[in-house]
Each structure stands twice: as structure tokens, then as C-alpha cells.
Structure 1
Amino acid sequence: MGLRDDLERYREVGEQRRQDLAEFIQYGDLGQSRDDEVRIPIKIVDLPTFEYDQRDKGGVGQGEGAQPGDPVGQPQPQPGDGDEDGDPGEEGGDHEYYEMDPEEFAQELDEQLGLDLEPKGKKVIEEKEGDFTDMTRTGPSSTLDFERLFKKGLKRKLAMEFDEDYVREALKVEGWGPQSVFEWARENNIPVSKAWIEDAYGELSSDEKSRWDSIEEMETAVDQVTTAQRIRRDGVDEVPFRREDERYRYPEIVEEREKNVVVVNIRDVSGSMRQQKRELVERTFTPLDWYLQGKYDNAEFVYIAHDADAWEVDREEFFGIRSGGGTRISSAYELAAAVLEEEYPWSEWNRYVFAAGDSENSSNDTEEKVIPLMREIPANLHAYVETQPSGNAINATHAEEVERSFRDADNVAVAYVSSPEDVVDAIYEILSTEEDE
């Protein structure tokens, strides 16, 4: 094994030693990642390199322009040699990261949490012809379903054909005429017409009409050959096709739907939402954004901040902003409903509405306004994440009221996060609710 193989092996070991996904979500530096790239720190494995012995940097060598026998000068200081007179370094060393796109992140989170969310296609982006599974009575001759036509004709032949010789023998029973033979044929399910019997009877001579003393004698002496037996023996000369049996294959129209999703993230930015609470919101919402971005073809995000009023912000502001106002959560749902109705119709977009805060809300706002608004906004999933690091405050009842009102709903999840250790469980609670639905 050469040096190149050793280097590759060390790189593989390094990637395998990257921070565990759950550990990264709970404690990792999420800010190093971008919207389209998740960067997970690798536990560094130093790659082997050749180095000079620091105790003896002399020796004989021949550099550019040197002649054999020239004296060798003192080695020059190298960066990192620990020069005591040098200035302290100002640039940090490069960190190693394992980089994955949101799709890989979603796959790994599915495996780790035992999830398997199947995105739903909403917006029709293309209609194309699929398999020829539909049938129509008209069409070009090239699409005629001949196999079906042949089967129909063959089935009719089996239903209409009969052993003519056998029926002629019945006409030779003494004392029988066309009427008696017709009634006997009907009793024995022989599909012969009375006109055919009369024509066949007229072709018999007088002697032939008294060949058998009784029908029982004829049936004992003559074996009836079924149509199926005759076809197997002699083959088929003709099949009675009819125009009403014709069917033409028609391609099924397949609608290709794009898996679109819009994620509305709502956060309480009132004075009670201090830094630790904000960090728990970011640690919960960010992996959810990555996950859904990895699951859907096209993902868009709306960020709404609110205190007593609500307004749209960009992602950078969303996790850091803080106001000093009161709290009215319904203002955020009113804004979310307006944005979704105007820009993301339910017929074309999958919708996720995630809200987070410390469960403090103005009096009666949850029961009278928020819960009715949640019922009125169609969505794949509504979720509320309560962040209370120091335990529930006396008036922090919003999460409990939502949970109580939607106890039997299959598209509403409530999760409680009091520390980073709760984040992965909260994510599972939210996404497994969508999976069940």
C-alpha cells in the first residue's frame, strides 16, 4: 500500500468520525452551514507528512545555482517554528467539515429517527402520454386492439357453433320433425336455429328420416363433438368479427406534478423571548427547514416575527430579532393566512406552518383567535414549539391549549423544548405527525 492509498484511507476515517447527526443538531454550530449546504464538523484525523528533524536542520544539499563543495548556510525560520520574537498569530486554523446537501441530510435524518415522509406532488408542470391503458370505440387503425377483437370473435364462435352432424342425426329419429328436434336442442343447450333445422330436414331422404327408433338410441350411438374439441382438431377457418367489438388503445394522460412546499416559520420576538429561548427556536427550526428542503423539489420559506403585531422578516433577522412589546400570537397567523392565500394556493403548494415561542400570549387570544385560524388555514402540518428553559411560567398556557384543542387532529403537533437535549425529540414529534397523516 502506497502513500496515496494511506492518505485516502485517512480521509475516509475522518469522514466517518464526523459529528453524529443528533449531536450536531443539539450542540453543533449550525451557523457554519448555508441554506443549501449542511456543514458538520469532522473530528480531525491528522494526515501523515514528512518533516525535518527540528534538532538538526543542517546537512549537505544542492539548490539552485549552488556548486558542489559550497558551504551550506543556516536554515531560515519557517512559519510555525515557534519563533519567540514573532507576533502571535491572528488567523485561525482551517476547520474540517463534512458537507452534505439538504437531500442527504433528510435521508440521514429519516434513517436516524425512523421516518419516511413521502412528499406529495401538487402543481401540475407537465402532461404526457403514458401507457396505452384506456380504450375508445374510435381511433386510428394502428391502435386497434386486435387481441381483444380476436378473443371477442372467438368467444362468439364458441357460443354460436354446434355439431351439425349430431343435430342431423336427431332429425333421423322416426316420428320426429323439425319442431321436436328444435325443442330437444334447446333442452341440451345446442345453439341451433329453427330455420337451420328445417333446411337440414328438407335435405333428408324418406329412408333417412327413420334411421333411429328413438332419440335415446341415437344419443347412445353417436358422440357429440363440442366446438372446442373441433377447433383443437381442425383449427379455425374463420372468426366472426363484428364492428361493435372493435376497441382502440388510447394512452393514459399522466400528470407530472412538482413537489412544491412552502414553510411558514413564526416566532415570538416579544420581550420575554430572551437569548436562550431564541437559540432553542433556531436549533429546532433550522433542521426542519433543511429536512423539508431536502424532501421537496421546490421549497420556499416565509419568516414571520411577532410581538403584539406581526411582520415578515428575512432569515437572518428571524432568529436574532427581539422587541420589547407584548404578545398576540393571532397577529402572526392572520399574516400567514394572507400570504398563503395570495402567493401559495393550497391546490398547488404543500404547506407547513411552524410557530415557536414561550407559550405566553395575551388573554383569550389562543382560544378565540389562534385556534380558529389554525383550523381555517389548510396545511399538511401545523406545529407549535414551546421553548421554556426554566420551566413553565404561570401564564404560559398557549401550547397546552393548542394541544388540548387538537388532541384528535392528525395534522397538528405540539412539542416542548426546555434544553438542547429535547430538540431531536421535538423534531421527531413534529415530523412523525406528518408521516402518520
Structure 2
Amino acid sequence: MSPRHLALLGTLLALSACKESPDPSTARPSETRRYFGTAADGKLHVYFFDVGQGDAALIVSPKGNTVLVDSGPASAAGHLVNRLPELLVKQLDLVILTHPHNDHHGALDAVLRRVGARQLMEPQLPGAPPDYNPLLTAISGRGIQVVSPAPPTSTPNAPQRINLGDGVSLTILWPRAPTEPLLESDKAAMEVNSIVMRLSYGETSVLFAGDALAQTEEYLLAREVSVQSTLLKVGAHGLNSATTAPFLARVGARAAVISVGANNDLRAPAAATLDRLKAAHVQVFRTDVDGEVQVVSDGKSLVVTPQRLPQGKPSDTRYTLVGQGPTPEPNFWAGKPLPEKQVPPPPPEDVQPIETLQTTKTEPPAPVADGRTDRSKKYKGKYVASRKRNKFHYPDCDGAKKIHAENLIEFKTREEAAQGGRQPAQDCNP
């Protein structure tokens, strides 16, 4: 090729490169991926995460709806913010906090910042730790609706059920306030009123016991609540104060998962608990020994896959548990006398079916309409609200005086009070 042709070719290549390479100042940065999971495969998946001394599990329905049950201690944040995106294709549909102890919600803020959520259910118990209510306030301020496990107001004798689609349902067995009073305990009020729920799919089921203790188990048995399940998520990390022999007999589980940290200060699981599980012929999986435990159901059987296997076991080892058959879920409390004592606070709104949950609002909330009185325009004091309602008040409003102390939230400005979509109460129009 002649020098002239070489020069011409070089010029054309240079022009082509200039045409194809955009100006760095105008190039659009690529959007960071947040979710890396695969499409739903038509099976129910449950992941019991290895979070140390705490609890965290993810439910993924055959349709792809997701529920995070607890979020582990703060020390698990690094693990969960990396693991959850591997399993999700969108933000969480629902987060359930079984009770207000840090080993069940310590990593929640980090998790929600990473993957997001539409709704959060928590038992709304009085006497929560000081850091718990501010956490809920911050969550509500992001547009995540905080809801209660209370029975539906239209059918108070029925438990609350959450439809995850394709025949999968999540039934809240406890607590049932205000239809039934919370259980009383001097030292373990949070634990005995921990959320207990049953996940059902076809002939298989998983019972999540939270940190429920023997007192909770005895109450549910006395009320003839249907707790039969293929797999039991053991309550209270396997402490001796839970998982009684009568409860195990009623559940009839073929396997159990204990979420526990290695060499923990509680010395959980207790040897007595392990003995009771062994006597009931329940195969036990422990996160401190087996790592993350994955459970998959096709509606007929559960397949359990632990992350770590005993020495000598083939790497493709799976444990198959045949379902016990569908368990009827009637109105468990219908026709049974309720205890005389009732819990006074009214319930918040019922949880919507999971298919109709509203999308989380990530933009700032719309400003509150300025139909204010002269007092409200001149007022420089604080405002108050109940974390169970979307109204805010002056501290001296009649409505404010009815807010229970454990639900009271204070705000320094009107703008802060209006965060999360709160509206001025009509009784005093702040």
C-alpha cells in the first residue's frame, strides 16, 4: 500500500474514532444495579441466614413475592446487604419484625437502605427499647407503611392472613391484640408476645416461632390453634424456656432450624431443648454449624440444603421432608370464650393483600395543604403524633391527650411532623 493510501486510511480511522467516542463530559453514567436475583421458578423458597446470634430469614413465593422475617443483629448488616440483593429482583414486599429486640432488627436500617421495602409489620408492643420507636419513625418517614399483626376488624375471630400468591399464605397466629389481650410477663413481655406465624404451601408448611416462650406455646395449645407444620423455626434460639414437649407433639415437625451464633453468651441451644427435639424425631439444622439453611417447597415436599455438610457427606446432599398434607385453617377462635381482660388501644389498618401493596415512596412527601388557622401560622412549639396514625397534633389537642405514651412521637417543626404523609388533625388543625 502506498504512503498516500496509508495516510488516508489513518485519517479515516481517526475520524471514525472521534465520531464513535462521545465527549466524556456528556456521557451518561451507567445505573448501578441494585438487585441480582433470578426470575421466580414456581417454587417456594425460604432462606435462613447465618447472622450469628440473631434471626433473619427470607421468604420468596412461587410468584416472586418476598417477605423478610427479622433482620439479625447490627453485626450482620455487612452480610445481609450483600446477600439479599443476590436473591431479590425488586424491593421487599414486606418486612416482619417479630419483636423489638436488637438481635432481630439491628441490621434493619442498613438492609432497607440497600434493598428497600413496601411495608413493615411489627407487634406494636408497649415498653419497647429506647432505640426502637425512633427506628420505626425513620422507616415511616421513608414512605414505608408500618402495620400491625392485629386480626381484621371485619372478622376479629379470624387470624390475619397474608396471601403471597399461587396458593402460598402466611397466617399470623400471635399476638392478637386488641381482640385478645397480650400475655403478661414480668421479665419477658417482648418474647411471650413475639409474632408467631405459619407459612403454608400445598401439603407443606413452616412455623416461625420468633422468640416465643413456653407461655406462648401453652396459650396457643389451650386455644387449639393449628400449628402443625413440616418444619419448625425453633423459638428463642433453642433456649430451654421454649420448645416444650407438648408443643413439639402438636407441631409434628419433621425438621427444625435453630438460628444461633457460635459460642454465644446465652449458651444456646440448650442441651435440654436438643434432647426434646431428638425425642420427637426432629432433624435439627443449626446456623452456627450448618451455615445458611435453604428450604424449597413444590407444595408436596420440602427439600432442605445446608450451606455446610458434615465431613464425609457428598457435596450434593439434600434432605427431603414429605409434607403432612394440607392443614385446615378455620376461624381458630370462633366460639371460644375470650379472657376478660382486653387491650385498650385500637388496631391500625389491616395489612393489604401482598399483591396490592403500594409502591414505596422514595420522593419527599407532598407538602401539607396550608389551610391553617392564625394560631398555626404563628405557632413555634413542638408537634406530636401517634406512630399508629397518620395525623399530627398540638400537644394540647384532645386527640393528642389520647395517645398512649409508648406510641407518642414528638416533632420540632410542622414540616417534620408532616413527613411520611401525616396530615393535620381536624380537632385542632395545627
TM-score exceeds 0.5: no
Task: Give the structure with the higher percent strand.
Answer: 2
Pair member with larger Rg: 1
Which of 1 and 2 has higher RCO (CA within 8 Å, sep 6+)? 1
The TM tier, using the shorter chain, reads under 0.3
Q: TM-score, normalised by structure 2?
A: 0.28
